[in-house]
Amino acid sequence: MQVIVFLVILVVFIAFLFSLFAVAEGRNRRVPGWSRSIVSTPKLTHAAQIAMQRAGYTPGEDFVQATDLGLLAYRSTDEPRLVRYGDVLVDTRYLRPFVELWLPHDARGTVRFEILDEKERLRYADEEKYDLVRGKNTLLPNTWLPLEGKAQNGQRWTLRVLASSTLLAKHTFGWQGVGGGRVQELADDDGELSPELLYAIQNQSGPGISLSELLSDQEDWS
């Protein structure tokens, strides 16, 4: 009788151990492609979509993407106007590019901003290493393109964004004369500054020296 009771207890104990292993295995099993923390699908502005297409870059959820980009146009040093779809006013004193990058995971890499004129001459360049986090990253260089006293001919210029020598985005913009209600119309068309971009602006100092500023006295801007 004691032997039978012992065998029953042994069987129950073995069954209990199997159930524990099954639960542990189920907890460790994951659906391929899933992770503990899920980053939401990035939302792209139309300007970013067109810029990546123009650059010949094919984005994907496993790769870096430009979700927004454009220019900050300063007619004074502390009140920028967002230029995403419209043109830059010809009395703009400084110009700064910005980009919002989405990453599937944390990374450290080099991001380069370039502004080229209608003849593809380099007018501005800024290259820095950034510590980028998973998800959205708003990048605003510390350098500014000085425009005061330099005549513009109304032709279209190009903003290029490169990551580790890969061309991510190619955005074009033109120049607009100042006059009447056109200023407010342009400001309304390009929307408001995002909280992330506004934070970046408020936490950076005034105009820094750019490559274009160092070479400005040697180049013909006509």
- Provide the CATH number for the domain around residue 158: 2.60.40.10
- DSSP for 78-112 reads S-EEEESSS-EETT--EEEEEEEEEESS-EEEEEE
9 is a domain residue: no
Number of domains in the chain: 1
- DSSP for 153-209 reads -S--EEEEEEETTEEEEEEEE-EE---TTHHHHHHHHT-PPPHHHHHHHHTS-S-B-
8 is a domain residue: no
Taken in order 60, 65, 67, 68, the sign of the CA dihedral is negative
169 is a domain residue: yes
1 is a domain residue: no
pLDDT band at 22 (very low <50, low <70, confident <90, very high): very low
The yes-or-no verdict on residue 96 having pLDDT over 90 is yes
Domain span holding position 101 = 46-218
Pair of tokens at residue 204 = 């950076």
pLDDT, residue 208, reads 54
CA separation for the pair 207, 200 (Å, rounded): 14
- Of the ranges 9-18, 122-131, 201-210, which is most confident? 122-131
Mean predicted confidence (pLDDT) in 128-133:
95
Residue partners of 124: CB distance under 8 A and separation at least 6: 95, 97, 113, 114, 115, 143, 145, 210, 211, 212
Q: In a 3-state reduction of DSSP, which class is residue 19? A: helix
118 is a domain residue: yes
155 is a domain residue: yes
The yes-or-no verdict on residue 178 having pLDDT over 50 is yes
CA distances from 92 to 48, 82, 148, 190 (A): 23, 12, 7, 16
The whole model's pTM is what? Answer: 0.70
